[in-house]
A and B are shown apart, each in its own frame.
Chain A
Amino acid sequence: AQTVTQSQPEMSVQEAETVTLSCTYDTSESDYYLFWYKQPPSRQMILVIRQEAYKQQNATENRFSVNFQKAAKSFSLKISDSQLGDAAMYFCAYQESDKLIFGTGTRLQVFP
């Protein structure tokens, strides 16, 4: 069965600095999607970034980028120029056949 592991329960970063959140997954498939979702205190799940496994190029969305290492089954999220509004729970997710499997999440704190 596919699993998603986030080994960092909590992370903190200074405003304007860069932080990297780790995620590894286990699958025997070659075609799948990976996502990072953000869940602020409002509990709304917000899509941060998406990666297609067949694409070697790492996805980027403004200040958010990923380091996708398919052979290592690693999918880390880098947040540059961190802002106070980035404080939230971040969930890594693996998708195959429209089903999402989530990691346990990383709580990110941003200090001024």
Chain B
Amino acid sequence: SAVISQKPSRDICQRGTSLTIQCQVDSQVTMMFWYRQQPGQSLTLIATANQGSEATYESGFVIDKFPISRPNLTFSTLTVSNMSPEDSSIYLCSVVGVQETQYFGPGTRLLVL
């Protein structure tokens, strides 16, 4: 499976600021996704990061709040904009590997004060 890294691994941010999370894969992948895991909850898909075009957002998530970039087949960023304490979550990127299976990065733990 692909090796996936995320930066930062964790951060504490102030209300009203923005944070950009990076996801790097060690091989080219077609499909990349961003998920959110709120405290004590399951994972929810935020969007599909499309290379060379705008991301595809799931219901309840908008580009102004969660802008995503995908400049190439190994890298993507997710920005959490104008943060509030409700944005405190773990954010995970994933890629589709062999046999249509998704593999996840280690996650970014975000706390908004």
Contact = CB atoms under 8 A, between A and B. Distances in A.
A91 to B, nearest CB: 6
Contacts of A80: none
Interface in B34-49: 37, 41-45, 48
A45 B37 CA distance: 11
Given A98-B31, A98-B96, A47 B42 contact: no
A43 B101 contact: no
A25 interface: no
Interface string B81-92: 000000000101
Interface string A45-77: 101001000000000000000000000000000
Contacts of A102: 42-44
B100 A98 contact: yes
Interface SS of chain B: strand
B106 A91 contact: no
The 3 residue pairs across chains A and B that have the minimum distance between CB atoms: A45-B104, A102-B42, A102-B43
29 contacts: A33-B101, A35-B101, A35-B102, A43-B90, A43-B106, A44-B106, A44-B107, A45-B43, A45-B92, A45-B94, A45-B104, A47-B102, A50-B99, A50-B101, A91-B42, A91-B43, A95-B100, A98-B31, A98-B33, A98-B96, A98-B100, A98-B102, A99-B33, A100-B102, A102-B42, A102-B44, A103-B42, A104-B42, A105-B42
Interface of A: 33, 35, 37, 42-45, 47, 50, 91, 95, 98-105
